[in-house]
């Protein structure tokens, strides 16, 4: 059945393939266009560089009038990312506009990795280290960058990873 939300998501996917923004990628899951898997590559010149961070994006039939729910599946250490992977980002909440598409969402999250906003912390430890002890902050980020590779290599092998992707769907 095709609905405005599904039609729009097909357009989003087409646009993402035709005009792929650098450093992000995403696609609908195999049998459900309302659930997407995405990857954000850590931006250059940030402590997240070389990391490959996986996310899920869940849409409702109210899309694009309502924003989707976006969540990191890979472990994240960032002032604006909660422990469960959900993200504190204004365009995903009160500053949402129906003109945003998946490409815009992913690039916004990518730039959040670039410029954390320590004033609205979702992770207090990360926010505090970001403000007061940048070296320690970078060390912690480096650790989750390493972990993000393990995710990649062992995909489907590690029990933990399997559990997680089940929970996400």
Partner 1 sequence: MSGDVNRQLSHMSEASSCYSDGNSSEDMDEDIDQYYMDTTDDLDLDCPSKTDDPEYFEYEPLQVMDAERLLNEEIEALCTKLKVSPSMAKMLLLRHNWQKEEIIENYQKDPSGFLIDSHLTSRRKHDNLIGPRPMCSVCCVNYPRDRFHGVTCGHMFCQDCWDMHFQTQIQDGITTAIECMAKECPVLVTEDFVCEVLTQPKLRDKYSKFSFNDLIKSHPKLRFCPGVDCAVIIKAKESKAKKVECQTCKASFCFRCGISYHAPTECDVIKRWLTKCEDDSETANYISAHTKDCPRCHVCIEKNGGCNHMQCPECKYDFCWMCLGDWKSHGSEYYECSRYKENPNIANESVHVQAREALKKYLFYYERWENHAKSLQLEETTTSKITTRTQEKVMNNQGTWIDWQYLLRAAALLKKCRYTLQYTYPYAYYMDKGSRKVLFEYQQAQLEAEVENLSWKVERAEITDRGDLENQMDVAEKRRQTLLKDFLEV
Handedness of CA 161, 164, 166, 169 (dihedral sign): negative
Alpha-carbon gap, residue 78 to 80, rounded angstroms:
6
User: Which of the 8 DSSP states describes residue 158?
Assistant: S
Q: Is 2 in the site for partner 1 (CB under 8 A)?
A: no
Q: Helix axis angle, 134-153 relative to 124-132, nearest 10°?
A: 130
- Which range in 27-35, 43-51, 57-65, 159-167 contacts partner 1 by CB under 8 A? 57-65
Q: Cβ closer to partner 1: 99 or 119?
A: 99
> Binding partner 1 by CB under 8 A: which of 2, 31, 99, 119?
99
Q: Cβ closer to partner 1: 13 or 130?
A: 13
Catalytic, out of 88, 91, 104, 142: 88
Reported as type and span, the H/E element at residue 142 is helix 134-153
39 DSSP β-pair partners: 25, 54
Residue 93 annotated as catalytic: no
> Binding partner 1 by CB under 8 A: which of 13, 72, 100, 137?
100
> Binding partner 1 by CB under 8 A: which of 17, 32, 69, 97?
97
Please, are residues 39 and 55 in contact by the beta-carbon 8 Å criterion? yes
Residues carrying an active site annotation: 88
Which chain residues interact with partner 1 by CB under 8 A?
Answer: 4, 7-8, 11, 62, 64-66, 91, 95, 97-100, 104
């Amino acid at each position: 059945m095709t609905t405005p939300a599904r039609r729009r998501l097909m357009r989003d996917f087409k646009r993402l393939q035709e005009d792929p923004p650098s450093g992000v990628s995403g696609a609908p899951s195999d049998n459900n266009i309302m659930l997407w898997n995405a990857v954000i590559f850590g931006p250059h010149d940030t402590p997240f560089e070389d990391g490959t961070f996986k996310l899920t994006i869940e849409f409702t039939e109210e899309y694009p009038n309502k924003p989707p729910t976006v969540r990191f599946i890979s472990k994240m250490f960032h002032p604006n990312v909660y422990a469960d992977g959900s993200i504190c980002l204004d365009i995903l909440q009160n500053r949402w506009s129906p003109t945003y598409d998946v490409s815009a969402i992913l690039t916004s999250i990518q730039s959040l990795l670039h410029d954390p906003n320590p004033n609205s912390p979702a992770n207090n430890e990360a926010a505090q280290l970001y403000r007061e002890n940048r070296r320690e902050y970078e060390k912690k980020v480096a650790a989750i960058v390493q972990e993000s590779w393990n995710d990649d290599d062992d995909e489907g092998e590690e029990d933990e990873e399997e559990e997680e992707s089940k929970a996400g769907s």
